[in-house]
Chains A and B, each alone.
Chain A
């Protein structure tokens, strides 16, 4: 969400008029270029010709269903990241969606904050920077090879899982990361815990990387999730 970044272009393929309009409006409000296709065929031709950063595809569409649309895009060599929206929220449906070539899967009903966070993480992938071996946010430094974490001159000791949590947050520095994204990507669980189990892990991590430092780096984004960011930028 830096000012210099070019405007993100996003295509929404969704047949339900009301939710489609809501998505287009919401994405435009956060400064995206958002286009809309209301069936599978139209979606395929738009996705094929347009230069989009992310496609948001409903699983069940008229004329051509979401999974087959993704399949033919991938067959043509189009690698645009795809987020699948589906009313079928179960584990095996998600696996089917990802196998068909989707990059992420979000069951309905979802919150826009969750969708936005996932779309931003996906589009960063589209830019495709080489996987760095060292992540830096402010004076916090994480070395992925030696598993060394330091803030300023202080060496920090993290548990393996805390390291992976911080690694994921820093990989997406400046982006909102939701609790479900953390549970999926750091722990590889796809269920919905009834408790604030992620918050407790975050607060432990926070006490290690932010405690005693003047400027906090790990921020809670209300109603959405967490973000690691150097406050000054």
Chain B
């Protein structure tokens, strides 16, 4: 598209054209109104003058007879100016006046007429136009008094010329202004387009220029910049994650490779090979688990898992997970307890169960009380799973009395692959809290990490299902029987 083509296609330019047309129309109608009124005024003036003259001439004739009339006519006809006089006999013979010729038949009709004429003293042979009135006098003579219309024509010409000029000026100014405005807008849009192209090409740090006027384009640019900010943050996050993935997957892959190599190099007995292969399978199972967890998080974060949502009671999830993990906790010399009140929710049951399971596994793994810091009573070895409704939220929490997570580290702990110093030596992928957090986000909630003095309380705060409490009250009556 040419630069000009681009220009005339802008909204600003098109709007200008519309306004241009409107203004031209306005100017034209204003002038037309003016012209029409002026013309009416001049005509009125002529009729008044002519009527007065006729009155005067008639009264002279009445007073001084034919001689006086002819004298007056002769005098008036000689006056310079635009007035016309003609006196004829009843047979049409001209007696006095300054009219040389008239359009035929004008003298035959009494009253007003617009006619072409020539003056007697005129040397040129051009016709002029005049407004005349013919009256019959008492002696049968006909009297014509009129006035040339040149003045009226000239005034009309001036107005017409003014109309032409003003429309020309409106058009020129309008198109000029339109091009000016359109170019201004176009320049800014082109600047934005240029920046977005650069950004699309990969330079995410680019930002749109924002002017100081605070107009609609500035507001748009500000919003787009905020969006770019968010995209950049996401990209940085993504990059961080892929770096972490690369690191955390490469480490076990390297171990895997080293073991296979070592087994090959050392020509050991079958038992050695077998042991090496078993470790290899173990290591790859761990890798697969990590991959699965990552995929799960990605799906939860991208919102794809939204398809599989239904209504259920979070208390059932808490009871189920308690039932599954209670023996494991006991084997680890911990007590797992559950306190579940009806908590209606709409969500993906499988994902919420897994998120809660991750929190419980974390509590069993990392929530052991530190023997040197606190007396090891039964309460310190207790892990509590809680489900309850609080206002518009359903809270699923797991509380332990272990070392907890220092407040400054809590935000960090939720990130993918982050394993806090204290837990580096224990097995685990470092994805448990990330998955729980992603699941909470998917449901429009959040994962909160808090202090249980001492210990950690991890809470999945999810939006409660609206209007589900009545139905659930009836539903939960059989829960105690189930648990028994």
Contacts and interface: CB of A to CB of B under 8 A. Distances in A.
Given A90-B299, A111-B281, A193 B357 contact: yes
Binding site of B, secondary structure by majority: helix, strand, loop or mixed? helix
Nearest to B329: A200
Contacts of B270: none
Interface in B421-460: 427-429, 432
Given A92-B305, A92-B308, A189 B323 contact: no
A197 B308 contact: no
Interface string B92-127: 000000000000000000000000000000000000
A194 B428 contact: yes
B368 to A, nearest CB: 14
B328 A200 contact: yes
A161 B292 contact: no
B66 interface: no
Contacts of A111: 281, 285
Query: Which of B305, B308, B325, B327 neighbours the largest number of chain A CB atoms within 10 Å of its CB?
Result: B327
Nearest to B285: A111
Interface in B333-355: 348, 350-351, 353-354
Given A92-B305, A111-B281, A192 B324 contact: no
A197 B307 contact: no
Chain A contact patch, size range: 20 to 34
B6 interface: no
Interface string B195-207: 0000000000000
A196 B328 contact: yes
A89 interface: yes
Contacts of B353: 189, 191
A124 to B, nearest CB: 26
B308 A95 contact: yes
B331 interface: yes
Most chain B C-beta atoms within 10 Å of own C-beta, residue among A161, A197, A201: A197
A187 to B, nearest CB: 6
A92 B288 contact: no
A109 interface: yes
B250 interface: no
A190 interface: yes
B296 interface: yes
A91 B328 contact: no
Interface string A75-107: 000000000000001111001000000000001
B364 interface: yes
Given A191-B357, A192-B289, A194-B432, A91 B351 contact: yes
A204 interface: yes
A92 B307 contact: yes
A133 interface: no
B320 A187 contact: yes
A89 B292 contact: yes
B289 A197 contact: no
Interface string A154-165: 000000010000
A196 B320 CA distance: 17
Given A91-B308, A194-B361, A189 B292 contact: no
Nearest to B482: A160
Interface string B213-238: 00000000000000000000000000
A82 B249 CA distance: 34
B406 to A, nearest CB: 24
A4 interface: no
Contacts of A187: 320, 324
B363 to A, nearest CB: 12
Nearest to B431: A194
Interface string A167-188: 0000000000000000000010
A195 interface: yes
B327 A200 contact: yes
Top-3 shortest CB links A-B: A191-B354, A200-B327, A200-B328
25 contacts: A90-B299, A91-B308, A91-B348, A92-B307, A109-B284, A109-B288, A187-B324, A189-B354, A189-B357, A191-B296, A191-B350, A191-B354, A192-B292, A193-B324, A193-B361, A194-B361, A194-B428, A194-B429, A195-B361, A195-B365, A197-B324, A197-B325, A200-B331, A201-B324, A223-B281
Interface of B: 278, 281, 284-285, 288-289, 292, 295-296, 299, 304-305, 307-308, 320, 323-325, 327-328, 331, 348, 350-351, 353-354, 357-358, 361, 364-365, 427-429, 432
